[in-house]
Amino acid sequence: MILDSKIPAGPLAEKWTKHKFSSKLVNPANKRKYEVIVVGTGLAGASAAASLAELGYNVKAFCFQDSPRRAHSIAAQGGINAAKNYQNDGDSIYRLFYDTIKGGDYRAREGNVYRLAEVSVKIIDQCVAQGVPFAREYGGLLANRSFGGAQVSRTFYARGQTGQQLLLGAYSALSRQVANGKVKLFPRTEMMDLVVIDGQAKGIVTRNLITGAIETHAAHAVLLCTGGYGNVFFLSTNAMGSNVTAAWRAHKRGALFANPCFTQIHPTCIPVSGDHQSKLTLMSESLRNDGRVWVPATQEIAEKLRKGQIKANDIKEEDRDYFLERKYPSFGNLVPRDVASRNAKYVCDEGRGVNETGEAVFLDFRDAIKRDTRKIIEQKYGNLFDMYKQITGEDPYETPMMIYPAVHYTMGGLWVDYNLMTTVPGLYALGEANFSEHGANRLGASALMQGLADGYFVIPYTVGDYLAQLAPTKVDENHPEFARAKEEVEQGIEQLLKINGTKPVDYFHKRLGKIMWDKCGMARTEPGLKEAKAEIQALKKEFWSNVKVLGTNEELNQTLEKANRVADFLELGELMVDDALNRNESCGGHFREEYQTPDGEALRDDENYAYVAAWKYRGEGKEEELVKEELVFENVKLTQRSYK
């Protein structure tokens, strides 16, 4: 199998313009004859559904939440990047492109990333026109900030709730199309399978989460906008319901899954407090602009601290190790996410962690408060400090915050070409669900940008090109493939309900999460990954013989929902391990301990691994097949990242 990225030929800056012109158009009178299914209503899904409906297509939009407004894009805090250069500080489309390629450690396609930077400017225009209340300067123009260590101020924001405001903007556009009758909404409905007829995606099978009814929906194209798979780790900053089921079942129907091992671990999250922990809360990265990260200089002091014999404020200046400032004098506390996370892990592994579990480091505002006064710090971070206090019961103005890395974002996802089409014709993946623009590591404030770029400005062109090649006749829902897929879904559910074992679903999910976190998390080794693979296989067996799912299919059954999702996470986890084992290099979020420079930095192998690892499903119990897409760099020179 050969993967064709379909990147148009020609100069980087002209590719997208040329491609839009060469894409086929659907006659305006014919658009109403095409049906498009959109699964997921986050930034990518809501913007795609609204934009396609505005063009005249008939859209069916699905989400598992009770309202499309609750998709997890809503939780994004920091902001959205755009190459507007409103600040006159040297930003440009090319610079955003370059920063994104470099930040992704050279594991993304030039063509895709350039297009993303190009359309970024239009996203801000669109959102403002919808009434998104971005932060403004006193002159009435839009405010920007520098984010995640970027050298220019290109991040637009709406307090600490940028994701919420952008999503509500897209949701309002979607709601308008619902009112116009062009979008039919299916809330509390989960996609259970993809229907493929003669090699093309023609519909989906869904479960109504209230009644349990298994239904089929036919369409000319299916868009998966279903987010990332960070919940494979059980604990992550994702919402409780975030899952891989739609993407995974499409994978089993022929869509290749790319770079599954590329996961982003965010350095500033509130540490785990006990076994009951259900999710981890992110504290905005902006805190690292003023907070100083440290741990005690010695194990002995850390030990006393953990036992409660001393308090953080008792530790003398010379007994504190500001390890990021020490190791990276020029970037200090603002090193990229992967570097900050890994170093926190190292000092905790050395026994210098600071909370009861030994898995936390301090983020200290003492010096910032001394320098700028408490009032200034309150203005900047007041809401975050309050949130921290609410969750931990400690006051960060008085005692240093404790933070630890947590799984935040998954760069991997369904393989897509330049048109965002997967390897199944007619099946598209948008936003975090696809693998494409962030390479091995995503920059801060770029997830919102990508979700909206895909939905507002890419898919309306590329899906049209595909639909124009199909006859505008109704997809036959009586085709036997629909009945067959539906029956398989029903059997799968029946099997889960029949097991009637002894352990609840979370018991398995937590164990899977621990394997993934310990052995396929911030630092990975070949022996560790091999152990992980065997452990996951054993756990999967145990799950299918001992999970306890009560109730029936024909009712609201949250345990059954979870069981379905965890069954897929168990399979995905194994593939992530395979992918991490295959990639004998360190890059971005993927750090293999065997491959590091003498001073402990990630060591890429561009000669052998400058490719996208796409995996092809070959059937139950069989090893997946690796298909490579070589990455071609015509415009940027590959360099080693250095933040010293």
Residue 498 phi/psi, 5-degree rounding, is: -80, -25
Query: Which residues from 188-217 bind another protein, rule CB under 8 A?
Result: 210
Query: Which residues from 406-445 bind another protein, rule CB under 8 A?
Result: none
Query: Which residues from 555-594 bind another protein, rule CB under 8 A?
Result: 555-556, 558-559
CB of 23 to another protein, least distance (A): 15
DSSP letter at 238 equals S
Closer CB to another protein, residue 239 or residue 467?
239
Query: Which residues from 77-96 bind another protein, rule CB under 8 A?
Result: 84, 86
Residue 37 CA: distances (Å) to CA of 50, 184, 223: 12, 10, 6
Is there binding between residue 142 and another protein (CB under 8 A)?
yes
441-456 residues labelled b (16+ CB within 10 A) or e (exposed): bbbbbbbbbbbbbbbb
419 token code pair: 């048109």
Contact 450, 437 (CB under 8 A): yes
Is there binding between residue 545 and another protein (CB under 8 A)?
no
DSSP letter at 7 equals P
Is there binding between residue 141 and another protein (CB under 8 A)?
yes
- Residues paired with 625 in a beta bridge: 616
Closer CB to another protein, residue 75 or residue 483?
75
Beta strands in 168-310 (DSSP E): 183-186, 189-197, 200-208, 214-218, 221-224, 257-258, 263-269, 292-296
Q: Which of 117, 265, 282, 424 binds another protein (CB under 8 A)?
A: 282
Is there binding between residue 286 and another protein (CB under 8 A)?
no
Q: Which of 4, 9, 29, 276 binds another protein (CB under 8 A)?
A: 276
Q: Which of 212, 358, 425, 460 binds another protein (CB under 8 A)?
A: 460
Query: Which residues from 599-638 bind another protein, rule CB under 8 A?
Result: none
Closest CA to 335 of 410, 443, 440: 443
Q: Is 337 a catalytic residue?
A: yes
Which stretch, 2-10, 139-147, 519-527, 629-637, contacts another protein (CB under 8 A)?
139-147
Q: 580: exposed, middle or buried (C-beta count within 10 Å: 0-12, 13-18, 19+)?
A: buried
Is there binding between residue 17 and another protein (CB under 8 A)?
no
Closer CB to another protein, residue 358 or residue 425?
358
Q: Which of 6, 18, 24, 159 binds another protein (CB under 8 A)?
A: 159
Q: Which of 16, 46, 59, 65 binds another protein (CB under 8 A)?
A: 65
Query: Which residues from 302-331 bind another protein, rule CB under 8 A?
Result: none
Closer CB to another protein, residue 39 or residue 256?
39
Closer CB to another protein, residue 101 or residue 239?
239
Which stretch, 128-136, 333-341, 463-471, 623-631, contacts another protein (CB under 8 A)?
128-136
Report CA dihedral (372, 403, 166, 37) to the nearest 10 degrees: 170
Give the pairing type, strands 292-296 and 320-321.
antiparallel
- Residues paired with 216 in a beta bridge: 205
Is there binding between residue 456 and another protein (CB under 8 A)?
yes
Is there binding between residue 56 and another protein (CB under 8 A)?
no
282-294 residues labelled b (16+ CB within 10 A) or e (exposed): bbbbbbbbbbbbb
CB of 160 to another protein, least distance (A): 10
Residue 1 CA: distances (Å) to CA of 7, 198, 410, 511, 622: 18, 18, 25, 36, 18
Closer CB to another protein, residue 47 or residue 343?
47
Size of site (CB under 8 A) for another protein: 82
Distance, in Å, from the CA atom of 539 to the CA atom of 533, rounded to the nearest integer, reads 10
Catalytic residue among 70, 288, 337, 342: 337
In the shown chain, the binding pattern of residues 225 to 244 toward another protein, with x for contact by CB under 8 A and - for none, equals: ------------x-xxx---
- Residue 558 CA neighbour count, 13 Å, CB half: 4
Closer CB to another protein, residue 3 or residue 497?
497
Is there binding between residue 164 and another protein (CB under 8 A)?
yes
CA 61 to chain centre: 20
Query: Which residues from 22-51 bind another protein, rule CB under 8 A?
Result: 47, 50-51
Which stretch, 97-105, 175-183, 293-301, 603-611, contacts another protein (CB under 8 A)?
175-183
Q: Which of 112, 165, 263, 446 binds another protein (CB under 8 A)?
A: 165
Query: Which residues from 366-385 bind another protein, rule CB under 8 A?
Result: none
Q: Hey, how many other C-beta atoms are within 10 angstroms of the C-beta on 21?
A: 9
126 token code pair: 């669109």
Q: Which of 98, 507, 544, 611 binds another protein (CB under 8 A)?
A: 507
Is there binding between residue 357 and another protein (CB under 8 A)?
no
Is there binding between residue 67 and another protein (CB under 8 A)?
yes
Is there binding between residue 153 and another protein (CB under 8 A)?
no
Q: Residue 629: which H helix or E strand, with range? A: strand 625-630
Closest CA to 343 of 272, 407, 414, 265: 265
Closer CB to another protein, residue 273 or residue 596?
273
Closer CB to another protein, residue 37 or residue 74?
74
Contact 193, 205 (CB under 8 A): yes
Contact 223, 48 (CB under 8 A): yes
Which stretch, 276-284, 415-423, 570-578, 633-641, contacts another protein (CB under 8 A)?
276-284
- Which residues lie below 8 Å from residue 478, measured CB to CB, with a gap of 6+? none
Closest CA to 440 of 411, 403, 398, 397: 411
CB of 407 to another protein, least distance (A): 14
CB of 375 to another protein, least distance (A): 18
Name the percent of the chain in helix, strand, coil, to the closest 5. Answer: 45, 15, 40
CB of 586 to another protein, least distance (A): 31
Is there binding between residue 75 and another protein (CB under 8 A)?
yes
Is there binding between residue 391 and another protein (CB under 8 A)?
yes
Closer CB to another protein, residue 185 or residue 244?
185
Is there binding between residue 58 and another protein (CB under 8 A)?
no
Is there binding between residue 551 and another protein (CB under 8 A)?
yes
> In 3-state terms, what secondary structure has residue 428?
strand
Contact 145, 79 (CB under 8 A): yes
Closer CB to another protein, residue 506 or residue 531?
506
CB of 385 to another protein, least distance (A): 14
Instruction: Just list the catalytic residues.
Output: 337
